[in-house]
Chain A
Amino acid sequence: MPSRAARRQVFISLALSFISFLSFAQSDVRVRSFAEEEGLAQNFVYDIRQDHRGFLWICTGAGVSRYDGHELKNFYQSDGLADNFITTSYLTRDQRLVLGHYQGSISFFNGVYFQKAFGDSLNSEMVSIDEDAQGNVWCFSKSKGMVMFDKGMSHPQIYFPGELRGKIVYQAKVVGSKVWMGTSEGFYLFEINDSKLLFVNAAEELAIAEITAIENQSADSTRCWAASADGQIYLLKLGNSVQVERTYASPILSGKRISSLLLAANQQLWVGSTQSLYQFAITATQLQLRQDFEQRPNLQSISKVYQDNSGATWVGTLGKGIHKIEPNHFSYLDVASWGVTRVNGATQTAFGYWLATDVGLLKLYIDSTGIQKVERESQFGKQEVLTVFATEDQSYWLGATNGIYQWKQKSFSPVKLTGDDGLPVRARFFKEGARGTFWISSIGNGVFQLDQDGKVSQHFSTQTGFMHNDIFAIHSDKQERVWFGSQGAGLASVDKNGTWKLYSQQSLFPSRDVNDITEDQNGVIWIATDGQGLFRYEKDTFQHVIVSSTQQAGYIKGVLSLDEGLWLSYRNGITFFHPKTTKSRAFTSADGLTNSETYASAIIRGANRNLLFLNETGVTLFQDSKKVEDVSLIPQLTAIRLFFNKSIHADPSQIQSAKGAFPSVELEFDQNHLTFDFAAVNLSYTGTVFYRYRVKEIENEWAPPITQNSITYTSLNPGSYTLLVQSSNDPENWSDPVLEYSFTIRKPYWQQAWFYLVQVVSICILFSITYFVSRSDRTRLSVLRIMVFVCLFIVFEFLQNWIEPFTSSFLGQAPVYRMVLNLILALLLLPVERLIRIFFTGHKQVPQDWD
């Protein structure tokens, strides 16, 4: 019979195990929510749609919200919508966003503004919109039939098949020439024939089922998923008849009203119900529940599940806004419940992870679903373990407060290694060197190099003239040069010939606090410093590298090079950096990191290219399978306004020809105070977006970066302009594509050729009349002379205005051409007068006193 104390210890251990299991059992996804507080038009979301430019359109009961990754902009009836209540949406193949409304009206967004396409005469909620092979757009109402538009969203025709009378249509889809419908009395199949809707068949087995949601079976147009109001999911086979090929009954869905189905990649089925959201894996015979979100109070009353182009899942709810579900880049292994207040080190093993902590060595057992068990390695009990390390050949080393250990078969065996003081060496970290050598950085005793036999081959300490006894970074590079980084003494290296370089002490390297050193594929050495940022060493030169100003860029605790780039750990986050493009992506708590203050740690490379980031009470794990993609921010012009006010509507024919882009506009001469609105759309990036801009014709340099997404130009002269806008997540790096938008401000009528011509003709007529009614030759000659000169002046004025827009490209802003033209005019006056004289001499005697 175990003693009471022993029983209590067992109980505490079990309780701790349970608590620790709970702390690991966190979801592999993160959920971002958007509600009215975040700017959503309403918390009742009915449909979600991403357009070709990347904007996410969120249809609510009180307007449509457009989301670009940073900002929600709402559009209402005052913006051209037929109604504020939007229940369904569709993006046509020619990039029109068609919206169906609650009362049956239909609007569409042509890329610039909303237009009403159909009124609310149906007085029935629009439930689905789809497009047939001919480009006809079909808008299905809940209980009053459907409206079909031709390709240009015109000529609406109403159909109300008899088979649908008295039934509620919950969802409809057009697939090729077939129309699928889920109704209050089963599933119906129609065929589109010559723009007419013909009934084909109904699913007899589902005659009494309320089919509330339907979904395509990937590219297979002969199969369809259907879900019912009582939680059944069916796979239907569609031909001339509709047959239930398989019924999937999941206990968790029983009795639940399914409102939305989404078939995602890898045969994952998302099911939204009036209760909650569920994710299933589809197998040959059943649905395997992968995740349910019943415990998340915001994920209830699901109306729509939608997947955007990046693969993130968006969930619309009735009353709780919209939610983005995306995989966590990072998973956090929390061991605080084990009394850990400091994680000193970690390494990945076959079973999971070893964690060196201030309360002993912890063993984390992991399988594909996450951490299953945590054990404390009994050999060290609660003794502090300083570091643990796995070599490439899976040999394990451990540093404890009483010495260094190496894994031998089933336990750690002490390695006899003493420092200058004769005491066992306390290891800070281990590092593999060249040619099978091994480095040990000790606390207060410098560094030791072990040879292939495990014997100390070199020991560097201050007693032997080494720069410091506490080394924080060691790296053995491809040229067999060993780099050392310390706090206080900076950076040094020793080559294979034993030649030392003390970079910091010789002022060749600006920092004296080095935290980490790594080497990339090209042999470039990267040095992370405490306070002065990141440096690269190449061709005997150090170069300071600006990563990003969005984090505390100077304080880099760890740097690790992988094939695709560098990982950097900061005090308040983790950054991924591309050396080639110099683009970076900062990860913060918004990306699934926990407490941002705790990432001031080294980065440890685990097995399978996983990365480990240590912090006080656990380890953050980045799995290599979750690729980090570049933050690509391509700006889109969203509106042009007349000096902050009214949006300019482009010509519909130009909108059509622009194929989804904002069309070029021609503005009147007095519409020359312009505000341009733009947005860099990226639904995955949550950080700050910087913009820079210029108008090519009037600015040679980019304006300083701004974070607001609109700019205003005033008093623009008539002419053609090209607005350039570029966006970036890093104000120091501008490598994303530039938005080029051309627009024209027309000349006023008095500066146009026809007006000059009218002037010349009018003057000619006027003077001709005067000339012919004049009796004396002298008067006639004077009139003729004035007429010729005035016409000449008008022609030159026209030439000046005509040439002016082209001169800036070769003369700059200096008004040299005007001076030149005036000079030419002056030079012309004399020959012209001479010509007039010759003209008169040839015809009549010139008066004596004419000169």
Chain B
Amino acid sequence: MRKLAALIFLLVPMLANAQRVPNEIENLDYLITYGAQAPLSLGDDDHVQILFFSIPRSYKNPIYIRIYDPETGGTHDELHGPANTQTRFSIYGGKEAFSNKDAQKVNPSGRFDSGNLLSSKVFGSDSKTDANWYSFGPFNPLQGEESAEMDGYVFKVIIEGLQGDDGNQYRCFLSELPNSNRAIEGANAFAYEYTFKLPKAKGISHIYPFIDKSVVSITQNNFDFDSDGNLLIYSVAKNRHLGQVSGDDAWAKSKHVMVDAEKNTTLDIQIQKNKEGENAMSLFITNQYDEAIPFFAIPIGGPPKYKYDLKLTIKPTVKK
């Protein structure tokens, strides 16, 4: 994990919008959290989204966690009848905000809301924040949980669909400024499970889990993909490995063995959507111990490139 931290802080500064979640490079427009009364068949398996932001130790200035369109009922939201959904955004820091095992699980159970509650706000239907940014903060970087793994401080954002049946679509940004998005050099965002909205058009979205040296195999789990296309795994050693895709209101999973060349590298899990239209789904990845693997808003070390293994044999020609 130390290596991971080193890699993060070496490579992230090169990327300008490292702290936008979902990130442009993922080709996901919005994250989505449905109200508690929304059926699971809409794509959200638990009505809770947990995100983490890591801040490098060297950063000493105030930080802001900004949410784009946190309300439900206006632009960008998925309404099912009149807007009736409330979503709570809570920011946590301090002891156990990240390190508590429950916080790193894919199901919001136990002490998933561990840590020190810093700020919390419930959004319903609100024209002020519709298609607009709302800023939490300022926060002192030291308010995050000190993490040796991440070589810095980690903040947790929990988004909970409290009531209603609408889908709240939003984006997050870790910013230096309260009123505009300015990325923090060396910071990153990651999650253990994503519930997101795929772009309406056909296309490819990406999830970038980092495979550390202890991972022997991964299991990708996806929910409610509606069999809209394919799920492909790319890495330095895998080229277009097919993963199982889920149908409507169903889970699907597939296990993939990691070879040595893939250790300490990033996988590119491509979600190939072959149909046009709205589709929200959830996805997480576990290792051989059923522990969730974090995926980062931007791929550590950049998107993987398959290295072709050419086996050339040179045979000497004998002049006669």
Interface check A108, CB cutoff 8 A:
no
In the bound complex, residues from chain B placing their C-beta under 8 Å from that of A318 are: 62, 138, 140
In the bound complex, residues from chain B placing their C-beta under 8 Å from that of A103 are: 94-95, 116
**Closest A-B pairs by Cβ, 10 of them:** A319-B62, A44-B140, A143-B117, A61-B140, A318-B138, A61-B142, A301-B138, A318-B62, A319-B61, A103-B94
- Encode B103-129 as 1/0 by CB contact (under 8 A) with A: 000000000000111111100000000
For this complex, 25 residue pairs linking A to B, each with C-beta atoms less than 8 Å apart, are A42-B142, A44-B62, A61-B143, A102-B94, A102-B142, A103-B94, A103-B95, A103-B116, A123-B116, A124-B116, A124-B117, A125-B116, A142-B116, A142-B117, A142-B118, A143-B117, A168-B117, A168-B119, A168-B120, A210-B121, A301-B178, A318-B62, A318-B138, A319-B61, A319-B138
- Encode A83-105 as 1/0 by CB contact (under 8 A) with B: 00100000000000000001110
Interface check B60, CB cutoff 8 A:
yes
Interface check B96, CB cutoff 8 A:
yes
CA distance A274 to B178 in the complex (A): 9
Q: Which residue of B lies closest to A124 (CB)?
A: B116
In the bound complex, residues from chain B placing their C-beta under 8 Å from that of A143 are: 117
Q: Which of B62, B118, B138 contacts A125 (CB 8 A)?
A: B118
Interface check A43, CB cutoff 8 A:
yes
Q: Which B residues between 125 and 146 are near A, CB-CB below 8 angstroms?
A: 137-138, 140, 142-143
CA distance A129 to B203 in the complex (A): 56
Interface check A62, CB cutoff 8 A:
yes
> Closest CB-CB distance, A300 to chain B, in whole Å?
9
In the bound complex, residues from chain B placing their C-beta under 8 Å from that of A184 are: 120-121
Q: Which A residues between 200 and 220 are near B, CB-CB below 8 angstroms?
A: 210
Q: Which residue of B lies closest to A36 (CB)?
A: B60
In the bound complex, residues from chain B placing their C-beta under 8 Å from that of A125 are: 94, 116, 118
Interface check A79, CB cutoff 8 A:
no
Q: Which residue of A lies closest to B139 (CB)?
A: A318
Chain B residues with a Cβ under 8 A of chain A: 60-62, 94-96, 115-121, 137-138, 140, 142-143, 178
CA distance A142 to B137 in the complex (A): 15
Contact present for A274 and B138 (CB under 8 Å): yes
Most chain B C-beta atoms within 10 Å of own C-beta, residue among A42, A85, A102: A102
CA distance A43 to B141 in the complex (A): 11
CA distance A125 to B92 in the complex (A): 11
Interface check A120, CB cutoff 8 A:
yes
> Closest CB-CB distance, B112 to chain A, in whole Å?
15
CA distance A85 to B118 in the complex (A): 14
> Closest CB-CB distance, B102 to chain A, in whole Å?
14
Q: Which residue of B lies closest to A168 (CB)?
A: B120
CA distance A89 to B95 in the complex (A): 21
In the bound complex, residues from chain B placing their C-beta under 8 Å from that of A102 are: 94, 116, 142-143
Chain A residues with a Cβ under 8 A of chain B: 42-44, 61-62, 85, 102-104, 120, 123-125, 142-143, 168, 184, 210, 274-275, 301, 318-319
CA distance A62 to B141 in the complex (A): 11
- Known interface pairs A85-B143, A318-B62; 11 further A-B residue pairs with C-beta atoms within 8 A, sorted by A's residue number: A43-B60, A102-B116, A102-B143, A104-B116, A124-B116, A125-B94, A125-B116, A274-B138, A274-B178, A318-B138, A318-B140
> Closest CB-CB distance, B256 to chain A, in whole Å?
38
CA distance A685 to B60 in the complex (A): 31
In the bound complex, residues from chain A placing their C-beta under 8 Å from that of B137 are: 274
In the bound complex, residues from chain A placing their C-beta under 8 Å from that of B117 are: 124, 142-143, 168
> Closest CB-CB distance, A748 to chain B, in whole Å?
49
> Closest CB-CB distance, B266 to chain A, in whole Å?
33
Q: Which of A120, A123, A301 contacts B62 (CB 8 A)?
A: A301
Contact present for B61 and A62 (CB under 8 Å): no
In the bound complex, residues from chain A placing their C-beta under 8 Å from that of B120 are: 168, 184
> Closest CB-CB distance, B221 to chain A, in whole Å?
31
CA distance A563 to B142 in the complex (A): 55
Q: Which residue of B lies closest to A184 (CB)?
A: B120
> Closest CB-CB distance, A670 to chain B, in whole Å?
42
CA distance A102 to B92 in the complex (A): 12
CA distance A259 to B115 in the complex (A): 23
In the bound complex, residues from chain B placing their C-beta under 8 Å from that of A61 are: 140, 142-143
In the bound complex, residues from chain A placing their C-beta under 8 Å from that of B143 are: 61, 85, 102
In the bound complex, residues from chain A placing their C-beta under 8 Å from that of B119 are: 168
CA distance A120 to B96 in the complex (A): 12
CA distance A294 to B115 in the complex (A): 34
In the bound complex, residues from chain A placing their C-beta under 8 Å from that of B115 are: 123
> Closest CB-CB distance, A40 to chain B, in whole Å?
12
In the bound complex, residues from chain A placing their C-beta under 8 Å from that of B61 are: 319
Q: Which residue of A lies closest to B119 (CB)?
A: A168
CA distance A832 to B286 in the complex (A): 100
Contact present for A123 and B94 (CB under 8 Å): yes
> Closest CB-CB distance, A207 to chain B, in whole Å?
13
CA distance A694 to B58 in the complex (A): 47
Contact present for B138 and A62 (CB under 8 Å): no
Q: Which residue of B lies closest to A166 (CB)?
A: B120
> Closest CB-CB distance, B100 to chain A, in whole Å?
11
CA distance A44 to B138 in the complex (A): 10
Given contacts A168-B117, A319-B62, contact A123 B96 (CB under 8 A): yes
CA distance A43 to B142 in the complex (A): 12
> Closest CB-CB distance, B211 to chain A, in whole Å?
33
In the bound complex, residues from chain B placing their C-beta under 8 Å from that of A120 are: 95
Q: Which residue of A lies closest to B94 (CB)?
A: A103
> Closest CB-CB distance, B139 to chain A, in whole Å?
8
CA distance A793 to B150 in the complex (A): 75
Contact present for B142 and A85 (CB under 8 Å): yes
> Closest CB-CB distance, A823 to chain B, in whole Å?
73
> Closest CB-CB distance, A294 to chain B, in whole Å?
13
In the bound complex, residues from chain A placing their C-beta under 8 Å from that of B94 are: 102-103, 123, 125
In the bound complex, residues from chain A placing their C-beta under 8 Å from that of B96 are: 123
> Closest CB-CB distance, B294 to chain A, in whole Å?
23
CA distance A705 to B254 in the complex (A): 82
> Closest CB-CB distance, B161 to chain A, in whole Å?
16
In the bound complex, residues from chain A placing their C-beta under 8 Å from that of B142 are: 42, 44, 61-62, 85, 102
